[in-house]
A and B are shown apart, each in its own frame.
Chain A
Amino acid sequence: MLRAERLTARPNWSAPAWAEELGRFVGGLLLAGAAFAVVLLLFGKDPVKAYAEIFQGALGDSYGWTEVLVKMIPFVLTALAAALPAQLGLINVGAEGQLYFGAITATWVALTFGDGPTVIVLPLMVAAGFVGGAFWAGLCGALRAYAGLNETISTLLLNYVAIRVVDHLVHGPWKDPSNFNWPYTAEFTQAARLPVLFGSRVHLGLALAALAVVLLYLLLTRTRWGYEMRVVGGNPEAARRGGLPVGLYLVAAMAIAGGLAGIAGMAETSAIQGRLRAGISNGYGYVGFLASWLAGAHPLRIVVTGALLAIISVGGDVIQIAVNLPSSSVNVLMALILFGVLGTRRRLEAAR
Chain B
Amino acid sequence: MSDVALRLTGIRKEFPGVLANDDVGLEVRSSEVHALLGENGAGKSTLMKVLYGYYQPEAGTIELSGKTVEIRSPAAARRLGIGMVFQSFMLVPALTVCENVALELDHLGAVPSWQGIARQIREVSDRYGFGVDPDAPVWTLSVGEQQRVEIVRLLVAGAKMLIFDEPTSVLAPTDVEALFEVFAQLKADGYTIVFITHKLREVMACADRVTVLRRGRSVATVDRAETTEAQLVELIVGSARVEQAGTRGAARRDGAPVLELAGVWAEDDRGGAGLRGVDLALYGGEIVGLAGVSANGQVELGDVVLGVRPAGQGRVWLGGEDATTWPTARRLAAGVAMLPEDPMLMGAVGAMTVEENLALGDIDARSRPGFLPLDWRAARAKAASLTERFGLRMPRLDVPIRTLSGGNLQRLVFARELARSPRLMLAYHPTRGLDIAAVSVVYDALRALRDAGAAILVVSEDMDELATLCDRLLVIYHGQIVGEMAADAVDLHEVGRLMTGGVAA
Contact = CB atoms under 8 A, between A and B. Distances in A.
Given A12-B398, A240-B328, A243-B331, A235 B350 contact: yes
Classify chain B: how many residues form its interface, as a range: 35 or more
Given A227-B359, A243-B331, A9 B374 contact: yes
A243 B347 contact: no
B374 A230 contact: no
Contacts of B350: 234-235
Given A241-B340, A241-B346, A9 B353 contact: yes
Contacts of B328: 240-243
B366 interface: yes
Contact of B360 (A219, A242, A352): A242
Contacts of A12: 398-399
Contacts of A219: 371
A71 to B, nearest CB: 32
A352 B345 CA distance: 16
Interface string A10-26: 10100000000000000
Interface in B319-375: 327-333, 338, 340, 345-353, 355-356, 359-361, 365-366, 368, 370-374
A234 B371 contact: no
Nearest to A219: B371
B52 to A, nearest CB: 13
B410 interface: no
A224 B369 CA distance: 8
Contacts of A242: 328, 332, 347, 360-361
A241 B327 CA distance: 10
A287 B369 CA distance: 35
Given A224-B368, A241-B306, A243-B332, A352 B45 contact: yes
Contacts of B349: 230-231, 234-235, 238
A219 B374 CA distance: 11
Nearest to B41: A352
Interface in A100-125: none
Given A234-B349, A235-B349, A8 B405 contact: no
B356 A227 contact: yes
B7 interface: no
Given A351-B403, A352-B15, A244 B329 contact: yes
Given A243-B327, A243-B328, A223 B373 contact: yes
Contacts of B215: none
A332 B372 CA distance: 43
Contacts of A245: 327, 329
Interface in B15-65: 15-16, 18, 20, 45-46, 49
Contacts of B398: 8, 10, 12
A349 interface: yes
B352 A234 contact: yes
A227 B355 CA distance: 12
4 A-B pairs closest in CB distance: A234-B349, A243-B329, A225-B370, A351-B403
Interface of A: 6, 8-10, 12, 219, 222-225, 227-228, 230-231, 234-235, 237-238, 240-245, 348-352
Given A240-B308, A243-B332, A349-B16, 19 more contacts: A6-B351, A8-B353, A9-B374, A12-B398, A222-B374, A223-B374, A224-B370, A224-B372, A224-B373, A227-B374, A228-B370, A231-B356, A237-B346, A238-B346, A241-B346, A243-B327, A243-B361, A244-B329, A352-B49
